[in-house]
C-alpha cells in the first residue's frame, strides 16, 4: 500500500508546527530521562512493543516548576490554535457549537520513544475515556529505502486506511475511539513522540 496520493479525512487533523528550538530542548530532556540505566533496567509496555514509554500523567505535573514541566507548558501552548481549529472543523462530532475558541481538559500525556533501528512499534489501539487524542513528533527520521513503512502512523475509519509519514513538528489530532497504530521504526536515531488525551470540550 502506498501513501501517495494520501487519503484525507477531516477527523484526522495533521498540523505542522514550527517548534524546532523547543523540540531540541525536549529531545535533550527525554534523552536524559531515559538514560542508559533505564533503557537496560526494563521498559514500560502499553501499546508500544519495544522502545521506552514514560509515565502517562505528565499533564498532571504542569506548573510544578521542573524543567520537564516547563517545556511541556510551552509545547501545549503551541497546540492551542491547532486544537481549536480541529474542534471547530469537527464540531458535530464533539457535540459543540462552532465558535472562535474552546476549552478542554487534558486527561493524560506521555512520551513514547522508539530506539534506533529497533523495529519498535505501537500495536493497534484506541484511547478509551477521552474525546480526542493527539500525537506530536518531537523527533523522527524519514523511512530508509529498505523499510519504506518505518515509523508511519496509520488510522482506520469505516474500513478505509489512512497512512501518514510524520516529521519533526507534526501534530496529529483524532477522535480517541479511532483505531490506529505505528509501523516498526528503523531510523538511525531515536523517534520521540508526545501523545495525549483530552476531554470535557466546552
Domain boundaries, the chain: 13-199
Provide the CATH topology of domain 13-199. Jelly Rolls (2.60.120)
Q: What is the predicted pLDDT for the residue at 175?
A: 98
Q: Whose CA is closest to 82, among 172, 9, 153? A: 172
Which are the contacts of 168, defined by CB distance < 8 A and separation ≥ 6? 20, 23, 137, 138, 139, 140
CA 77, CA 71: separation in Å to the nearest integer? 10
pLDDT at residue 46, as a whole number: 61
How confident is the prediction along the chain (202 residues), in pLDDT tens digits per residue?
Answer: 444 456 789 999 999 999 999 999 999 999 998 875 455 445 555 667 788 888 889 999 888 888 899 999 999 999 999 999 999 999 999 999 999 999 999 999 999 999 999 999 989 999 999 999 999 999 999 999 999 999 999 999 999 999 999 999 999 999 999 999 999 999 999 999 999 999 999 9
End-to-end alpha carbon distance in the chain: 39
pLDDT for position 35 = 79
Q: What is the pLDDT of residue 95?
A: 96
pLDDT of residue 124: 94
| Burial class of residue 26, CB neighbours in 10 A (0-12, 13-18, 19+) | buried
Q: Which three cell numbers stand for residue 29?
A: 530532556
Q: Do 106 and 134 meet the contact criterion of CB atoms below 8 Å apart?
A: no
**Contact between 25 and 71 (Cβ < 8 Å):** yes
Amino acid at each position: 500500500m502506498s501513501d501517495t496520493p494520501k487519503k484525507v479525512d477531516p477527523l484526522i487533523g495533521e498540523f505542522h508546527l514550527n517548534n524546532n528550538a523547543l523540540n531540541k530542548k525536549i529531545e535533550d530532556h527525554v534523552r536524559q530521562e531515559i538514560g542508559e540505566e533505564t533503557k537496560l533496567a526494563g521498559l514500560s509496555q502499553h501499546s508500544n512493543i519495544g522502545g521506552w514509554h514514560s509515565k502517562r500523567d505528565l499533564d498532571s505535573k504542569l506548573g510544578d516548576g521542573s524543567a520537564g514541566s516547563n517545556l511541556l507548558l510551552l509545547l501545549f501552548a503551541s497546540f492551542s490554535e491547532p486544537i481549536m481549529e480541529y474542534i471547530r472543523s469537527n464540531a458535530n462530532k464533539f457535540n459543540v457549537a462552532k465558535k472562535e475558541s474552546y476549552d478542554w481538559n487534558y486527561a493524560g500525556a506521555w512520551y513514547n520513544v522508539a530506539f534506533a533501528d529497533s523495529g519498535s512499534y505501537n500495536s493497534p489501539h484506541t484511547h478509551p475515556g477521552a474525546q480526542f487524542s493527539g500525537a506530536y513528533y518531537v523527533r523522527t527520521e524519514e523511512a530508509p529505502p529498505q523499510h519504506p513503512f518505518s515509523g508511519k502512523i496509520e488510522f482506520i475509519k469505516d474500513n478505509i486506511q489512512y497512512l501518514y509519514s510524520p516529521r519533526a513538528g507534526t501534530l496529529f489530532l483524532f477522535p480517541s475511539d479511532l483505531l490506529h497504530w505505528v509501523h516498526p521504526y528503523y531510523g538511525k536515531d531515536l523517534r520521540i513522540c508526545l501523545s495525549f488525551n483530552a476531554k470535557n470540550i466546552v
